Amino acid sequence: MCGIAGLLAPQADAVPEWETVARMCARMAHRGPDTQRVIVDGPLALGHRRLSIIDLRPEAAQPMWNEDRSVMLVVNGEVYNFVELRTELLTRGHLFQSNSDSEVILHLYEELGEGCLDRLRGMYALALWDARRRRLLLARDRVGKKPLYYHLGPAGLLFASEVQALLASGLVACDPDLEAIDEFLALQYVPAPRSAFKGVFKLAAGERIVVGPGDTPRPERYFAPRFDGVDGRPLDELAGDLRERIEEAVRLRMVADVPVGAFLSGGIDSSTIVALMARHSARPIKTFAIGFPDKDTSEFRFARLVARLYGTDHEELVVDPQMVSVLPELVEHYGEPFADCSAVPTWYLSRLTRQSVTVALSGDGGDEAFAGYHEYRAASLARGIRALPAPMPQAFSFGLRHLPGAPLKPVRDFGRALLRSEAERHLGVMAHFSHEERMAMYGPEMRRLFERDRLAERFNAIVERSSGPEGVARLIDLDMQTYLPDDILVKVDIASMAHSLEVRCPLLDREVLAFAATLPSRYKLHGLSTKVALRRAVADLLPREILNREKRGFGMPVDRWMREDLAPLARDLLLDRTARSRGLVEPAAVERVIAGHQRGEPRGWQLWTLLVLEQWFRTFVDRSIAPAALPLAQSIS
C-alpha cells in the first residue's frame, strides 16, 4: 500500500521539475512511511511513497521499470492473483527483478497493453508510463478501493492518491466547487468525478485515462458490473458456491510479509472474515473492535462472542465524546468535506490496529453485494405500497407526511419520497438534507444555482442505465457506483492510511462480486430478511446470535452527542462571525436545525454535516495549504 503522484508536462520536449512531485509525495508520507522515490523520464515525473507489504527488499521499490526500461509503473494497492500471473508471465520469457505483486502489472502490460487491467484481481490506483509511445495510463480498480485525483493546468497534468498532495504542489488553487458542496450536504460525501475543489477531479471506480503530453484527460469506463445474468439454481447450491469464493478471497488476502489481523465488529460480514481466517492460520488471529460508552450503541458483546469462539487475540477501544476533538485532524486528512460520522471510530480503530499489525482484513462490501442496508427494505416497502390500487399510494404518502411528533421525521421523509422515482426515493431516504431542506437553508446565490435538483437527475440516470432486472439490483448498482466507492471506501482508505495501515476487503473480491450479482434478488432481500444467501453460506461458521442479529451501523451515537456533549461545539462553530459571513447558508436556518434537534427531532447527522463543512472551509479555503517540506533524501534518475 502506498501513495503515488506525478506530473506530465504539456509538451513532449518539456522536462517537469522533480521537486514538484517530491513535495506531493512528502505530503503523503503517512501512506508510505518506508521510502520515497521520484523518477523523471522525458516529460513525466513519477513519484511513490512505499509501505512495504510484499517483498520488503529494495528491488521491489517504485517507480519500477521493466527489463528494457520501456515501461515504468507506480501503483497504490495490491494484486491478489499475482502468483498465478507471475507464473504465466515467466513461461512467456519475462524477467522479474523482484517478488512483488506490483511488478506483474509491468509485464502484463507488455503482453496485453491497456487490456492488462482486465486480468488484475485486486485493489489499485496506478500510473503506467509507456516511454516508447509517450503515453500515460491512469487507472482505478473495479470497485474504487484506491483513490486517484487529477488536475489539468498550465504546468501539465497532475495526479496523486490524495487531493492534499495536489494542493502541496503549489499549482492548484483552494477554490471550492459549489456544486460539490451541494452534493456533499445531501450525501455527506462528494461523489466522483467532482471533488470539493474547482478543477480537481476524481477518477471513478472502473475508469482509466490514456493521455499524452498536452492532451486533455478523458476518463473512460473499462469495467461496469452486470446484474442481468441471474442464476436460477437452488439456494443451497448457490450458497455453497458463494462460500467457496469468499473463502478463496480471504485466503488470498492473508498473503503478506508483515503481520496481518482483522477488524471485528461482531456483524455477519466481519465475523465471517474472522471465522475463515482462523481456518487458514496456524496462530490466533489478531482482532480489533471499537465501541461506545452507551450499551445501546456498543457492539462489544457480539465481537467478544466471535473472538471467544475462534480464540482470537482480541483488543478493544471505547470511543467517547471527547475523542471527537480529532475532527480538525480528520478533516485535514480527508481533504474534502466528509461527514460519515463512522469515520471517527474508523480512525481510532485503524490507530489501535496499526499498533499490532500492518495489514487488516475487513467486512466492507457485504451490505452492497448482498443487500444488507435498511434502505433496501424501505425501497421494497415503497414498491409494495406503490403497487396498490389508486388512490391508496397517495393516501399513504399523505398520511405519513403528516404524522405528528419530532422523532417521526424519518417516517415523514419516507412519505415525501414515496411517490417519486426509484432513485429519488432512495436518495430521499439516504440524504441528510433533502433538496427542499437545502433550498430552505441556502443563501440567495446557492438557491439560484441549485434550484434544479441535479443530484436527483444524476441518480435517476444511473438507475435508468443499470443492467439490473428489477429494483433491488438497480439500487445495489446505484450504491456500487456512488455510496460504496465515494463514502465507505474513502472512509476506510483515509482513516487506515493516515496510520500506515493496509485494509483488505475479501467481500469486494472481483469473483465474489461477480457471483453475487447473479444471485436472484429474493436470495438477497426476502421480506424483512437481508443477506439471505450469505447467511446460508456461513450458517455453520457463526453462532445463531450473530446470524440473526439486525444490521447495526458503525457510527457514533451522533443524535445524543450533538444534543448533549457536542452541542456547545456545534453552536460555537456554526454561528460565529466567520461561519455567518460565508453566505452559503442562512444563519437563521442553522439556528432552526439546532433548535429542532434540541426539541427531539433527529437532526444530529445534519448538524455533524454542517460542522464538518465549516471545519473544512477553515482548514482548506480560509488558509492556503503550505507546500510540504522536502525530505532530506530523494532518489532521482
pLDDT for 142-186, tens place per residue?
Answer: 999 999 999 999 999 999 999 999 999 999 999 999 999 999 999
Is it the case that residue 553 has pLDDT exceeding 70? no
Where does the pLDDT of residue 321 fall: very low under 50, low under 70, confident under 90, or very high at 90 and above?
A: confident
- Let me know: does 79 contact 39? Beta carbons within 8 Å: no
CA 594 to chain CA mean position, Å: 29
Is it the case that residue 632 has pLDDT exceeding 60? no
> How much of the chain exceeds pLDDT 70, in percent?
96
Sign of CA dihedral 393, 407, 580, 190: negative
Residue 629 is predicted with a pLDDT of 41
Mean pLDDT over 606-611 rounds to: 95
pLDDT for 22-81, tens place per residue?
Answer: 999 999 999 999 999 999 999 999 999 998 888 788 888 899 999 999 999 999 999 999
Sequence-ordered alpha helix ranges (H) in 169-290: 178-187, 235-253, 268-279
Where does the pLDDT of residue 296 fall: very low under 50, low under 70, confident under 90, or very high at 90 and above?
A: low
Is it the case that residue 490 has pLDDT exceeding 50? yes
Is it the case that residue 295 has pLDDT exceeding 70? no
Q: Which domains does the chain have, with CATH numbers?
A: 2-221 (3.60.20.10), 558-621 (no CATH)
- In the chain, % helix, strand, coil (3-state, to 5) comes to 45, 15, 40
Contacts 24+ apart (CB under 8 A), 118-123: 118/222, 118/223, 119/81, 119/85, 120/79, 120/81, 121/79, 121/80, 121/81, 121/252, 121/509, 121/510, 121/511, 122/77, 122/78, 122/79, 122/80, 122/81, 122/82, 123/77, 123/78, 123/504, 123/505, 123/508
Mean pLDDT over 253-270 rounds to: 94
Distance in angstroms (rounded) separating the CA atoms of residues 524 and 305: 25
Mean pLDDT over 541-560 rounds to: 84
Q: Which residues contact 589 (CB under 8 A, 6 or more apart)?
A: 440, 441, 442
* Region of poorest pLDDT, from 167-171, 263-267, 353-357, 420-424: 420-424
Three-state SS string across 306-366, please? HHHHCCCEEEEEECCHHHHHHHHHHHHHHCCCCCCCCHHHHHHHHHHHHCCCCEEECCCCH
Which sequence positions are flagged as catalytic? Answer: 2
pLDDT for 585-599, tens place per residue?
Answer: 999 999 999 999 999
pLDDT for 412-421, tens place per residue?
Answer: 888 888 888 8
Q: Hey, what's the torsion of the CAs at 115, 486, 275, 264, to 10 degrees?
A: 150
- Let me know: does 544 contact 550? Beta carbons within 8 Å: no
Backbone angles phi, psi at 337, to 5 degrees: -60, 130
Where does the pLDDT of residue 403 fall: very low under 50, low under 70, confident under 90, or very high at 90 and above?
A: confident
Distance in angstroms (rounded) separating the CA atoms of residues 538 and 277: 13
pTM of the model: 0.94
Of 485 and 553, which is predicted with more confidence? 485
Of 92 and 627, which is predicted with more confidence? 92
Is it the case that residue 627 has pLDDT exceeding 60? no
Distance in angstroms (rounded) separating the CA atoms of residues 504 and 331: 23
Is it the case that residue 274 has pLDDT exceeding 60? yes
Nearest to 336 by CA among 430, 218, 202: 202
Which helix (H) or strand (E) is 438 found in, with range? helix 435-441
